[in-house]
A and B are shown apart, each in its own frame.
Chain A
Amino acid sequence: MALVLMRHGLLLAGILFALGLVGVLVRRNILFILLSIEIMLNAAGLAFVVAGSRWIQPDGQVMFIFILTMAAAEVSVGLALLLQLYHRFKSLDIDAASRMRG
């Protein structure tokens, strides 16, 4: 039973990760891109917890805590970038910042 649960848990993590990836690729609003990255990180954490639960070890949960920390740091920097983008271009469209000043 644990094996079936692990297989389906990993399948769910894969589906959620794929949905997040589709969100990153399809949407051009930077807010939705950040949300999709959160979905992908959450799916990766889910895979770790499922594996940890299968082998009855706490390591999976420890890795999830690290992923959580990383997601928090990433989202704070990402949202600061979003504010900068909005102040400069008055738009959340990521294509507005597609040119480098070279």
Chain B
Amino acid sequence: MNGLFYISSVVAILSTIMVITELNGVHALLYMIVSLFSVALIFFTLGAPFVAALEVIIYAGAIMVLFVFVIMMLNLGPRAVAQERQWLSPKMWPGPALLASVLMVELIYILRRGPMALSGIQVIGPKAVGFSLFGLYLLGVELASMLLLAGLIGAYHLGRRTPTKEKEEKT
């Protein structure tokens, strides 16, 4: 039980160090996703399965995909193909694959042990979180929706390329 926590912690720290030292953006994203997976496993061992699922779905699934989209948008043109080939070079694979396989072994161990793997930890399920979220913290949910709307409008406004700006660039 504790072993799972410490192994995932080591994986998280190693992959985070690789994120901030990596020079290539896509390679850093690869390590970042491994780091998020290990933090999700840590959440699971701490007895928070709902948040572990959210970490995988929203952080690793949605936010990192946003990063990948932006990196792809920056590399339009003929040199994109060469860059793509460079990103997928075989010598890049072993690092993240090794760290991810450690997490995979832990996951298989948890699945094989079943509920016994989390003995000694009080699990707080999605039901309790939902009651708290939509009961006590209802005002926070409303504020979060306002924040998301503001983020949407801000991203639309900033991401739009206005015609006047393009004219400025041409002149």
Chain A residues, Cβ within 8 Å of B73: 83
Kindly state the interface size class of chain A when it binds its partner: 35 or more
- CB–CB A70/B161 < 8 A: no
CB distance from B50 to the nearest CB of A (A): 6
- CB–CB B42/A46 < 8 A: yes
Closest Cβ neighbor of A1 among chain B residues: B120
Kindly state the interface size class of chain B when it binds its partner: 35 or more
Chain A residues, Cβ within 8 Å of B147: 69-70, 73
A97, CB-defined interface residue at 8 Å:
no
A72, CB-defined interface residue at 8 Å:
yes
- CB–CB A77/B19 < 8 A: no
Q: Whole-angstrom distance between the alpha carbons of A59 and B137 in the complex?
A: 9
- CB–CB B9/A12 < 8 A: yes
Give a binary string over A80-99; 1 marks a CB under 8 Å from any B CB, 0 the rest: 11111011100010000000
Q: Please, could you name 29 A-B residue pairs with CB atoms under 8 Å apart, sorted by A?
A: A5-B5, A9-B42, A19-B13, A20-B16, A26-B20, A32-B20, A36-B19, A39-B16, A39-B20, A42-B59, A46-B43, A49-B43, A53-B47, A53-B48, A53-B124, A59-B132, A60-B48, A61-B50, A62-B140, A64-B54, A65-B129, A70-B147, A71-B59, A73-B147, A73-B151, A80-B156, A82-B70, A84-B159, A87-B169
